[in-house]
Each structure stands twice: as structure tokens, then as C-alpha cells.
């Protein structure tokens, strides 16, 4: 019988291909989403969408994360990780192509399809890291988080310049993400064709019988994942609009999102460096959550220092992303548990995250100010600090 960490390819080839595949998928898990926020002005001007509908455009992928993340482990068990990831990357490419077509319906339908595909990738990657690199979870999680952040920051920064330069405007700008998704699909197609349908776990694998839904530790991981997504996607969706109302040009506001992503990248690197060296992650989780709180509170109280607060909050959000992904692997005793915990945390977590852009858009329309949204983010960061301390304990859902 195969061991849980065995691969369908030969040992000499599998780790390199697995690492390449992980990093290519990582580059596609945020870039198709972060490019939308800076283009909302272009999209609304072209289509006539109101603020609520524009917020829904940002929220659709997160709703897809919430609904379909819980189903992704089932697909992984039946098809194997390789085939599942190929289908996810192929579906994401199709969704990106569709949302770039003329009309409002293809825009929303393509965004939804892309969200479903990203949901599958989100869930499968932590399980793949657990299977292929069980002794290097923290550095590998940090590495693919760095790639994810670099790709998403670049996509946000170049979205408006591409829309202004390309013949198709914002539609052509959105389609440029195919440069990332098509190579990822090709790599996973090649691996899927040479791999047996290796399930996430086999019957009798250690830790397989645990019901993560009955574990308070799993719920703490889920809440941490949800709150960091809630705050992150608010800024991805609305930070350009917040800054544009203070007098920044759309291009400058788009680059502020890139600055946020750069700060998040530094948070990624620092968190991945320290998380693997610590006996537990309680103090680390508390620290990065407080960075988020300070950054959001600073934006509300002292907007003249917005660049500073973006850097502080961005570093906290970057660290939060790495830790949310690391928690999934570190708090699981097996690949099966990692997939189950990943499905739970990312399903409910991103349903929480999906509410962020919509709630803040409604608050802005109702009050005429972004301050209520910022104070809501401060409150959520405080709750994140509380659950981070519990999720950071050196335990697994089996122990709990």
C-alpha cells in the first residue's frame, strides 16, 4: 500500500514538478481578483453598474470560495490532486476568458466560474504541501504565499495602465491574467497524464476519521481565516476608491494597492521565516493581528499618514495569510485532515470574507464616509487577535 506522502511520479521527478506546480497555481490564486479593484471605475463607467453591483462583482468569487471549498476535498479524493488541479486551472482560464467578453452577463458569469476554480486550488494546495513536503510545511507555505502576493500585487499595479494602453480597455486588462493560468494548466495536465489517481488519503490513514467540524481548534483556524479574508478583500475591493476620494488619481490609487501587496510580501517572508522556528504560533498570531489593528486604526485616525498605515496593515495582512495557510497544515495530523480542515476553513472563512466588500460598500453609501468601514475592520482585527492565540497552540485537531 502507498504511504500517505507517496507520489504518482518517480521520487526523483515528483518533488521538482510538485514545487513548480504549486508555485504556478499560487500565482493564479489572487491575481485574477486583485486586478478588478483598480478597474472598478472603468467598469462602472462602461457598464453603468452601481456601487452595490460593483461590490457584488468583487464578492462573487468569495461566495464561490465559501460554497465550493467544502466540495473540493471530495473532488480531490475521487480524482486525485493532479487531475483536480488541472481541472481547476483549465476552469479558471475559461472563466477569465469569459469575463473579458462583451456584455454584463459574461462578466459576472466568468467571474463566478473563475471563483469556483480558485476555490478548488485554494483547498488543494495546502493538502499537496502536506503530502509532498511534510517536513517543510512552513517554508513551502511561505514560498507559495510570496509568489501569490507578488502576482496579485503586480496585477493590481498594472491593471489601469494596461486598460489605458490596450485596445480592449479594461476587458483586455482582465484577460492578461491568462499569462499565468494557461502555463499552470499545462503543467498540471502533464502531471495528471502521468499520474495515477492518487487519493488525498487512503482508508485507515492516520487521522482520517476525525470530524473537524466538531473541533474548537478547527473553528479557531476557520475564524482566523475568515477574518483575515474579510479585511483583505475589503482593501482589495475598496482601497482604490477610498484613496481616490482623498484626491489620488486612479493610477496612483492602484499603485497603493501594489504597495499594500509589497508590505504583505514582507509580512509573508517574515512570518514564514519565524513560524517554522517557533514551538507554537500563539505570539506570532497575536503580533500580526495587532499590526492589522494598528494599520486600520491609523487609516481612520490619521489619514495624512496613509502610506505608513498601508505598510503596517499590509504587513499584518501578509503575515495573516501565511499563518492561515500554515495553520491548516500544522493543525492537521494527516493529508486527509489537512484537506478536510482546508475545506472547512476556506469554505466558512471565505463566506465571512465575502461579506466584507458588500458590507463596506453599503456602509459607504449609507453614511457617505469610509470611516464606519475602517472601524469595522479594526474591530474584526481585534477578534482575529483573540482566535489567533488559540489557533496557534501546538496541537492538532486529533489532539483537540
Q: Which set of grid coordinates corresponds to residue 116? A: 469556483
Q: φ and ψ at 5, to 5 degrees?
A: -95, 5
Which residue in 255, 264, 281 sits closest to 146, CA to CA? Answer: 264
Least confident window among 215-229, 309-323, 338-352: 338-352
Angle formed at CA 322 by CA 160 and CA 357, multiple of 5 degrees: 45
Average pLDDT of the chain to the nearest whole number? 83
Q: What dihedral angle (degrees, nearest 10) is formed by the CA atoms of 395, 272, 314, 291?
A: 50
Q: Given CA atoms 301, 302, 307, 309 in this order, what sign does their dihedral have?
A: negative
Higher pLDDT, 277 or 70: 70
pTM of this structure? 0.74
Q: What percent of the chain stands above pLDDT 70?
A: 91
H, E, C per residue of the chain:
CCCCCCCCCCCCCHHHHHHHHHHHHHHHCCHHHHCCHHHHHHHHHHHCCCHHHHHHHHHHHHHHHHHHCCCHHHHHHHHCHHHHHHHHHHHHHHHHHHHCCCCHHHHHHHHHHHHHHHHHHHHHHHHHHHHHCCCCHHHHHHHHHHHHHHHHHHHHHHHHHHHHHCCCCHHHHHHCCHHHHHHHHHHHHHHHHHCCCCCCCCCCCCCCCCCHHHCHHHHHHHHHHHHHHHHHHHHHHHHHHHHHCCCCCHHHHHHHHHHHHHHHHHHHHHHHHHHCCCCCCHHHHHHHHHHHHHHHHHHHHCHHHHHHHHHHHHHHHHHHHHHHHHHHHHCCCCHHHHHHHHHHHHHHHHHHHHHHHHHHHHHHHHHCCCHHHHHHHHHHHHHHHHHHHHHCCCCCCCCC
Q: What percent of the chain stands above pLDDT 90?
A: 27
| Residue 362 scores a pLDDT above 80 | yes
Q: Which set of grid coordinates corresponds to residue 268? A: 509573508
Higher pLDDT, 287 or 17: 287
Grid cell 498605515 in the structure block, residue: 309
| Residue 110 scores a pLDDT above 70 | yes
Q: Given CA atoms 196, 202, 206, 208 in this order, what sign does their dihedral have?
A: positive
Q: φ and ψ at 80, to 5 degrees?
A: 95, 155
Q: Which set of grid coordinates corresponds to residue 295? A: 494599520
Q: What is the mean pLDDT of residues 178-203?
A: 76
**What pLDDT is stored for residue 231 in this prediction?**
94
* pLDDT band (50, 70, 90) for residue 6: very low
Whole-angstrom Cα distance, residue 225 to residue 217? 12
Whole-angstrom Cα distance, residue 138 to residue 141? 5
According to the per-residue pLDDT averaged within each range, which of 3-17, 95-109, 191-205, 385-399 is highest? Answer: 95-109
* pLDDT band (50, 70, 90) for residue 382: very high
| Residue 308 scores a pLDDT above 90 | yes
Whole-angstrom Cα distance, residue 40 to residue 170? 9
Higher pLDDT, 316 or 136: 316
Q: What is the mean pLDDT of residues 291-304?
A: 92
| Residue 247 scores a pLDDT above 70 | yes
**What pLDDT is stored for residue 395 in this prediction?**
82
State how far the alpha carbon of 28 is from the alpha carbons of 92, 179, 272, in Å.
9, 10, 20
**What pLDDT is stored for residue 209 in this prediction?**
54
Which residue in 75, 10, 294, 161 sits closest to 302, CA to CA? Answer: 294
**What pLDDT is stored for residue 392 in this prediction?**
83
| Residue 227 scores a pLDDT above 80 | yes
**What pLDDT is stored for residue 331 in this prediction?**
84
| Residue 400 scores a pLDDT above 70 | no
Whole-angstrom Cα distance, residue 129 to residue 135? 10
Higher pLDDT, 194 or 345: 345
| Residue 216 scores a pLDDT above 50 | yes
Higher pLDDT, 289 or 4: 289
* pLDDT band (50, 70, 90) for residue 297: very high
Judge whether 238 and 373 are in contact, CB under 8 Å: yes
| Residue 12 scores a pLDDT above 80 | no
**What pLDDT is stored for residue 196 in this prediction?**
54
Grid cell 521565516 in the structure block, residue: 273
Whole-angstrom Cα distance, residue 34 to residue 154? 9
| Residue 14 scores a pLDDT above 70 | no
In whole angstroms, what separates CA 9 from the centre of its chain? 28
Whole-angstrom Cα distance, residue 177 to residue 161? 14
Q: What is the mean pLDDT of residues 291-302?
A: 93
Higher pLDDT, 255 or 389: 389
**What pLDDT is stored for residue 1 in this prediction?**
39
pLDDT by residue (tens digit) across 42-90?
A: 888 888 877 777 777 877 887 888 788 888 888 877 888 888 999 999 9
* pLDDT band (50, 70, 90) for residue 3: very low
Amino acid at each position: 500500500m502507498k504511504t500517505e506522502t507517496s507520489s504518482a511520479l518517480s521520487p526523483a521527478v515528483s518533488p521538482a514538478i510538485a514545487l513548480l506546480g504549486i508555485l504556478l497555481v499560487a500565482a493564479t490564486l489572487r491575481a485574477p481578483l486583485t486586478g478588478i479593484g483598480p478597474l472598478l471605475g472603468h467598469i462602472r463607467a462602461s457598464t453603468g453598474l452601481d456601487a452595490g453591483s460593483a461590490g457584488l462583482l468583487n464578492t462573487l468569487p468569495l461566495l464561490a470560495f465559501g460554497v465550493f471549498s467544502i466540495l473540493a476535498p471530495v473532488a480531490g479524493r475521487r480524482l486525485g490532486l493532479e487531475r483536480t488541479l488541472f481541472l481547476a486551472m483549465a476552469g479558471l482560464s475559461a472563466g477569465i476568458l469569459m469575463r473579458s467578453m462583451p456584455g454584463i452577463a459574461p462578466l459576472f458569469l466568468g467571474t463566478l466560474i473563475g471563483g469556483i476554480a480558485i476555490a478548488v486550488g485554494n483547498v488543494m494546495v495546502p493538502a499537496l504541501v502536506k503530502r509532498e513536503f511534510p517536513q517543510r510545511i512552513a517554508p513551502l507555505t511561505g514560498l507559495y504565499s510570496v509568489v501569490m502576493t507578488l502576482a496579485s500585487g503586480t496585477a493590481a499595479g498594472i491593471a489601469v495602465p494596461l486598460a489605458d494602453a490596450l485596445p480592449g480597455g479594461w476587458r483586455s486588462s482582465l484577460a492578461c491574467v491568462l499569462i499565468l493560468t494557461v502555463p499552470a494548466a499545462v503543467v498540471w495536465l502533464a502531471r495528471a497524464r502521468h499520474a495515477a489517481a492518487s487519493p488525498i488519503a487512503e482508508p485507515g490513514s492516520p487521522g482520517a476519521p476525525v470530524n473537524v467540524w466538531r473541533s474548537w481548534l478547527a473553528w479557531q483556524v476557520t475564524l482566523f481565516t475568515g477574518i483575515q479574508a474579510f479585511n483583505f478583500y475589503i482593501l482589495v475591493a475598496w482601497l482604490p476608491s477610498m484613496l481616490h476620494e482623498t484626491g489620488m488619481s486612479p493610477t496612483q490609487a492602484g499603485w497603493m494597492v501594489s504597495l499594500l501587496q509589497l508590505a504583505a510580501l514582507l509580512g509573508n517572508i517574515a512570518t514564514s521565516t519565524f513560524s517554522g522556528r517557533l514551538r507554537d504560533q500563539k505570539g506570532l498570531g497575536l503580533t500580526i493581528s495587532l499590526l492589522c489593528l494598528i494599520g486600520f486604526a491609523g487609516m481612520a485616525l490619521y489619514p495624512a499618514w496613509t502610506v505608513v498605515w498601508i505598510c503596517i496593515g499590509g504587513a499584518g495582512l501578509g503575515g495573516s495569510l501565511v499563518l492561515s495557510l500554515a495553520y491548516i497544515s500544522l493543525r492537521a495530523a494527516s493529508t486527509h485532515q489537512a484537506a478536510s480542515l482546508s475545506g472547512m476553513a476556506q469554505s466558512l472563512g471565505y463566506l465571512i470574507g465575502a461579506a466584507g466588500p458588500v458590507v463596506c460598500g453599503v456602509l459607504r453609501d449609507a453614511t457617505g464616509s469610509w470611516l464606519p468601514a475602517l472601524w469595522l475592520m479594526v474591530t474584526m482585527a481585534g477578534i482575529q487577535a483573540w482566535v489567533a492565540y488559540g489557533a496557534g497552540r501546538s496541537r492538532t485537531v486529533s489532539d483537540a
